[in-house]
Structure 1
Amino acid sequence: MAKVFKRTYSYAFLIPAAIIYLLIFIFPTIMSFFFSLTRWNLTSWTFIGLDNFTMFFQEASLLIGFKNTLIYAVVTCVLKVVLGLLLGVFLTSKIRAKGYLRSVIFFPTLLSTIAVGITFSMMMHPTQGLINTALAAIGIVGPDWLGDTRIALLSVALVDVWKGVGFATVIYIAGILSIPQEYYEALEMDGGGAFHKFWNIILPLSRPATNSVIILSFIGGLRSFDLVWAMTKGGPGFTTDLIASIIYKQYQGGYYGLATAGNVILFIVVTALALPLYSYLNRKEAEL
């Protein structure tokens, strides 16, 4: 009886968290699936079945949005992994002012995404922006970062990387510092240098950190909206439109049921891409 009471008593502490999780995630998710099958506003709704999904897939810019979203997620994910790893190695080496440099690298993560987007949109102005003004001072004609259809999406992605690489770096720092010192000592006894230390110890043993950064960055890229909207609003044309910005435009137009269906589709797409990637990375980690 005492064991049953003790087990029940311990589970009781999970009830508040379970209630919060139910209210802010499970219930809204269920309601989103329901309202995606309706034509609704703030006061009433009408059940229309799968019509919203049919209309959403007929959206003219949808294919562009899917392609842009995938490109954006892959580019930001790869750059955050590579730069985060390099910065993590640098900031765990024997250098001065490591604490200060870590703070500098992590600081952009704390900034408001909207504020960052507005600031960089001004800095990337083709004629009056700080970036092109600095390039002109050394004789280089800067491009129209956000107006050129060839580089607009990449420009926004680079700002995303600048803002988010600090979080990836912190994860890598934690992973690198958790590696036992005995490995480094054994390598030094065998005459290994800095490259061997990175290639044979840091790179393979920081795999859990790499997996975390990949998953978080990839999902974040697929769901990204606020930075793109603050900088370009999906323009020029549909060049930087992501799935999330297409959904937001539908909300702006008053097509709430259609936009809700878009959110459900985005949820399914993120899940369909993230779960296999997560399973693959975990399987590779287990093989080490």
Structure 2
Amino acid sequence: MVTSQHAGPRTGSGPARAPGRASRRRDAAYPYALYLPAAVVFGVVFLVPTAMAFYFALTRWTLFDSTFVGLDNFRDFLAEQNLSIGFGNTLFYAVLTSGLKVVLGLLLGVLLTSRLRLRGFLRSVVFFPTLVSTVAVGITFSMLLKPDTGLVNEALAVVGVDGRDWLGDATTALLSVALVDVWKGVGLATVIYIAGIMSIPAEYYQAVAVDGGGAWHRFRHITLPLSRPATYSVIILSFIGGLRSFDLIWTMTRGGPGFTSDTIASIIYKQYQAGFFGLSTAGNVLLFLVVTVIAVPLNHFLGKRQVAA
């Protein structure tokens, strides 16, 4: 029997061993180490400020001092006489703006994925308002909606329609701001819908065409149901944005006339302006809880609908 004279190098005196427990732990921990930078940023930017907000909501504080008062700030904020108006306005604003963004975004998405000659240019035009500063949009439309010199009322006068004080009338102030918000934000909704529609396989549309279906059948049986993920994304983003909306409302109406267009965010800001920092912090915590209580179940419900579909 011939034996090899040139065996390969050996690293130990015994047979090769399976990786030890420490090595397996190191291999298992390696993917989580990749999450560490994002976890640090998330903790510093979100978790730490959130924890500090919950603490300062329980105090009366200034820049250099704080006094613990327990739940007094929450009780005082909930006793705010305009809070019920602000809460109702917030829900109305969020539902209206998110609903219009879904409808208009879907229609524009269908239009801008069709065979239009100027399709690329029109996509840029629709998305452009999203890039403009919200404060700049608010100031611009405040000028356009002025009752005497605004371009909107002058254009209505040309066709024989009497304009009104859109931002000074309690019945139209919040509605006017909401429509401006839709004009500014529908571009993002449209882009989401364009991405969703373009991901639908062309074979589905070809099958409808073979069966003799027209444009309505393509929209009803293919585009609408298969763009549900885009619809859910637009609903969640728009609804949360509507609940938190402040800058456009403050720029255009400052919650007026009176308190008729106040939202929870504008009420919080007014408390901050008055120097009630602990009270405004408690309001921010309550707004955070309201958004969470509404958005989390809504996201869960829409997620279940998407899986079921």
The two structures share one fold, judged by TM-score above 0.5: yes
**Counterpart-to-counterpart distance in 1, 2:244 and 2:301:** 21
Taking structure 1 as the reference length, what is the TM-score of the superposition? 0.98
**2:108 is matched with which residue?**
87
Quick one: which of 151, 176, 188 aligns to 1:167?
188
Quick one: which of 212, 216, 234 aligns to 2:237?
216
Q: Which amino acid aligns with 1:96?
A: R
**Counterpart-to-counterpart distance in 2, 1:143 and 1:91:** 34
**1:240 is matched with which residue?**
261
Taking structure 2 as the reference length, what is the TM-score of the superposition? 0.91
Identity of aligned residues (%): 65
**1:266 is matched with which residue?**
287
State the 4+ residue runs in structure 1 displaced beyond 4 angstroms: 1-4
**Counterpart-to-counterpart distance in 1, 2:134 and 2:252:** 10
Q: Aligned-pair distance for 1:12?
A: 2.2
Confirm or deny that 1:49 pairs with 2:70: yes
The correspondence of residues 28-47 of structure 1 with structure 2, limited to 5 A, is: 28-47=49-68
**2:45 is matched with which residue?**
24
Q: Aligned-pair distance for 1:134?
A: 1.2
Quick one: which of 275, 285, 301 aligns to 1:254?
275
**1:280 is matched with which residue?**
301
Q: Aligned-pair distance for 1:7?
A: 4.0
**Counterpart-to-counterpart distance in 2, 1:198 and 1:108:** 27
The runs of 5 or more residues in structure 1 that have no matched partner are: none
Confirm or deny that 1:138 pairs with 2:155: no
Confirm or deny that 1:103 pairs with 2:96: no
Q: Which amino acid aligns with 1:60?
A: Q
Tell me the alpha carbon deviations over residues 143-173 of structure 1, each in whole angstroms, 9 at most, x when there is no partner.
Answer: 1110111111100000000000000000000
**Counterpart-to-counterpart distance in 2, 1:7 and 1:233:** 54
**Counterpart-to-counterpart distance in 1, 2:103 and 2:137:** 22
Q: Aligned-pair distance for 1:279?
A: 1.2
**Counterpart-to-counterpart distance in 1, 2:259 and 2:302:** 33
Report SS of the residue matched to 2:67: strand
**2:6 is matched with which residue?**
none
Report SS of the residue matched to 1:192: coil
Tell me the alpha carbon deviations over residues 95-133 of structure 1, each in whole angstroms, 9 at most, x when there is no partner.
Answer: 111111000000000000000000000100001011111
**Counterpart-to-counterpart distance in 1, 2:25 and 2:131:** 45
Report SS of the residue matched to 2:45: helix
**Counterpart-to-counterpart distance in 2, 1:30 and 1:269:** 17
**Counterpart-to-counterpart distance in 1, 2:27 and 2:141:** 56
Quick one: which of 176, 180, 195 aligns to 1:155?
176
Q: Aligned-pair distance for 1:11?
A: 2.5
Q: Aligned-pair distance for 1:15?
A: 1.5
**2:197 is matched with which residue?**
176
Q: Aligned-pair distance for 1:6?
A: 4.1
Q: Aligned-pair distance for 1:286?
A: 1.5
Tell me the alpha carbon deviations over residues 176-233 of structure 1, each in whole angstroms, 9 at most, x when there is no partner.
Answer: 0000111001101100000000000000000000000000000000000000000000
**Counterpart-to-counterpart distance in 2, 1:158 and 1:3:** 58
Quick one: which of 203, 206, 209 aligns to 1:188?
209
Flag the structure with larger Rg.
Answer: 2
Q: Which amino acid aligns with 1:253?
A: A
The runs of 5 or more residues in structure 2 that have no matched partner are: 1-18
**Counterpart-to-counterpart distance in 1, 2:299 and 2:137:** 30
**Counterpart-to-counterpart distance in 2, 1:4 and 1:265:** 42
**Counterpart-to-counterpart distance in 2, 1:141 and 1:6:** 73
